[in-house]
Chain A
Amino acid sequence: MSGRAIAVAIAVLALVALPYAITEIYYVNIASQILLYAVFALGLSVLVGYAGLVSLGHAGLFGVASYGVAYLLAAGHGHTVAILAGLASALVVTAGFAAVSLRAGGITFIMITLALGEIIWGLAYRWISVTNGDNGINVATRPAPFGLSLASARGFYGATLIVFLLAVAGVAIFVRSPFGAALCGTRDQPRRMTALGYHVWMMRFWAFMFSGLLTSVAGILFVYYNQFISPQALALAASAEGLLMVISGGAGTLLGPVIGAALVVIIKNVASAYVERWNFLLGAIFVAIVVFMPEGLVPGAVRLARAAWRALKRPKAAAPIPLTGPKP
C-alpha cells in the first residue's frame, strides 16, 4: 500500500472514530458543520479552482436546495420526496445560473453570479407566501435512512461523514479524469483549448452543474443540521464565506477547501464567543488573505515547508545579498 493510501485510511478511521473519542455534543456538532461546509467548499472549488470561474452567488444555489427541502416537508411530504425535489430544483436553478453567467468570463462572470445570488436572496426574503420571509421555515424532523435515526448529534455526524467522503472521492476522481485535466486547461488557456478542439462553454457548463450538485447536497445537509432555514443563509456574506473557505485553503487543491472550511467554521464559532460582529472579522480576514497570502494557506504552507526542507538540506554557505529584499 502506498504512503498516500495509508494516510487516507488513517484519516478516514480518525474521522469515523471522532464522535466516540469526543464526548461533548457541542464539538461533535462543530465537526458536522465542518464536514457539511467542506462539501460546499469542495463544490465551489470545482468552479473556482479548476474551471477558473469565481462565483459570488453560490449561497443562492445552497439556499434553493435548503428551501426546497424545508418547503416540501412543511407541505407534508416525506423526506425522500423533499430531498429529491430539493436537489432537482437546485439543479434546475444551477443550469439557469450557468446559462446566463457563462455568457462571459472573468470579472463579468463574478458580477453576474453576484447579481443572480442576490436575486435568489431577494426572493427568499420577499416571497413570503412560499418562504415565510425573514421568519424562515422550520424543519421538524431529520430523516431516518434505513431506520437509523439522525436526531442525535452522533447519528447526524455519521450521515454527514458518509456524504463528505463520497464528495471527496467524487471530486478526486473528477480532478484526475481527462475531463478534469481539460477543465484546468480551459482555466489556463481558454483560447488555445478551443483551437485544440475542446467545447469550452459546454465543459464549463458541466463543471458548473457538478459544482451545483455538491453545493445542493451541502444545502440539504445544512437544513437538516439546523432544522431551520432563513434568508440569511443565502446572503452575499454567505457566498463570501464559501469563497473564503476555498481561497484560504487553496483553490486548486483537494484538501484546501476542506481545511478552509474547518478554519472558517472554527474561527466563526470561537469568535462568536468573544466578538459580537462576525461579518467584520470575516471581511478583515478576507482582505488579509487576499493581500498577503493569495495562493491560500495550504499552498502557502506547502511552499514554506518546501523552502524550509531545502534550507535544512543545503550546506551553509555565505548568504548572497538579495537584490529585491527578503522573500517571505
Chain B
Amino acid sequence: MSALAVSGLGKSFGGLRVTTNINLAVAPGERRLIIGPNGAGKTTLFNLITGEIAPDSGSILLFGRNITRMASRNRAHLGLARTYQIITLFARDTILRNVTLALLGLSPLRWNPLIALDRQHHLAAAGRAALERVGLGHIADRPLAETSYGEKRRVEIAMALAQNPKVLLLDEPFAGLSIDERSDVRKLLVAIPRDVTIVMIEHDMDTALDLADRITLMHFGEVIVEGTRAEVVADPRTREVYLGE
C-alpha cells in the first residue's frame, strides 16, 4: 500500500487547466522529489493534497484511505504535514510559541479556554525538543521577528516534524538559503527516520537530487517523467523540459 497515492487528479481555475491527470504513488518511507519549471503546478499539487483547494477530478489516498473529500484540518490529524514555499509563520510570537501552536493543533487541549497555556509544561518540553532536533533549541524563546531567514526555514521544518507526521510535504525547503544553511537543512532532512514519508518540491537540484529515491518531473500541470534518479536524468524529455523552452 502506498503512503500517498494520487490518481487522475485534475484542477482548473476558470479556463486555465492547472493540473491535468496527475498520477503519483509514493511508497512508505520513500523520499520523492518533485521537480519542474516555474508554473508546472507543483505547489498546486501540494495544495490539492493538503485540501486547501478541491480537485475537479481524481482521488487522493493516504495509506489507502480516501481523503479526497476530507476537510483540510482533518488531514493533519491523519498524519499529513507540510511546509510552505513562502514563510507563513506567526510573526508576533516567539519561536517556541510557533512550534507549540503546531503541537497544539493535534491536541484536544486546543479547545480549552480555561487553563494557562504557559503552564502546560509537557507541551513546552515537546516544543523545545522539536527545536533541538533542528538546532534551534538555544533560541527557543527569541521572538520570531528577530531571527534570520535561515532560522525561520528551520522553524518551519520543526513545526512540521513536531506534528509527528506520517507523510511530510516540503515545499522548496532550501529556497533562499545560503550554502552553509543548505548544508544544515540537508543534514536535518537526512536525519529524519524512514517511518516518515517525504515528498519534496525543490528547484535546487544539486542539494536535492541525491536526497531523493525517486523523482517526478512535472511541466504545465502534467507528470512528464517519473523514475529513479538515473532514469530521470537520462530521459530525453527531461532535457526538453528544461532546455527546450
Contact = CB atoms under 8 A, between A and B. Distances in A.
Interface of A: 173-174, 176-182, 184-185, 188-189, 191-200, 206, 210
B77 A197 contact: yes
Contacts of B74: 197
A311 B102 CA distance: 38
Given A189-B88, A189-B89, A195 B50 contact: yes
25 contacts: A173-B114, A176-B117, A176-B118, A177-B115, A178-B111, A179-B110, A179-B111, A181-B100, A181-B101, A184-B93, A185-B101, A188-B90, A192-B88, A192-B89, A193-B105, A194-B72, A196-B76, A196-B105, A196-B106, A196-B159, A197-B73, A197-B76, A197-B106, A198-B105, A210-B113
Nearest to A185: B101
A179 B72 CA distance: 19
**Interface of A, helix, strand, loop or mixed by DSSP:** helix
B118 A192 contact: no
Contact of B117 (A178, A189, A198): A178
A188 B92 contact: yes
B112 interface: yes
Contact of A195 (B72, B92, B97): B72
B105 A178 contact: no
Interface residues of B, number: 37
Interface string B94-109: 0001001110111101
Contacts of A173: 113-114, 116
B116 A177 contact: yes
A320 to B, nearest CB: 21
4 tightest Cβ-Cβ pairs between the two chains A and B:
A196-B105, A197-B76, A197-B105, A179-B113
B91 A196 contact: no
B117 A177 contact: yes
Contacts of A192: 84, 88-89
Contacts of A184: 90, 92-93
A178 B52 contact: no
Given A181-B101, A182-B104, A188-B92, A195 B110 contact: no
Given A173-B113, A173-B114, A181 B73 contact: no
Contacts of B91: 188
Interface of B: 50, 52, 72-74, 76-77, 81-82, 84, 88-93, 97, 100-102, 104-107, 109-118, 120, 159, 163
Listed residue (A173, A176, A210) with the most chain B CB atoms within 10 angstroms of its CB: A176
Given A176-B116, A178-B110, A195-B81, 8 more contacts: A178-B117, A179-B110, A188-B91, A189-B90, A192-B88, A197-B76, A197-B106, A210-B113
Contacts of A188: 90-92
Contact of B112 (A179, A185, A189, A194): A179
Most chain B CB within a 10 A radius of its CB, from A179, A197, A200, A206: A197
Contacts of B163: 196-197
B82 A195 contact: yes
A276 B128 CA distance: 59
A21 to B, nearest CB: 34
Contacts of B115: 177-178
B90 A182 contact: no
A133 to B, nearest CB: 39
A181 B93 CA distance: 10
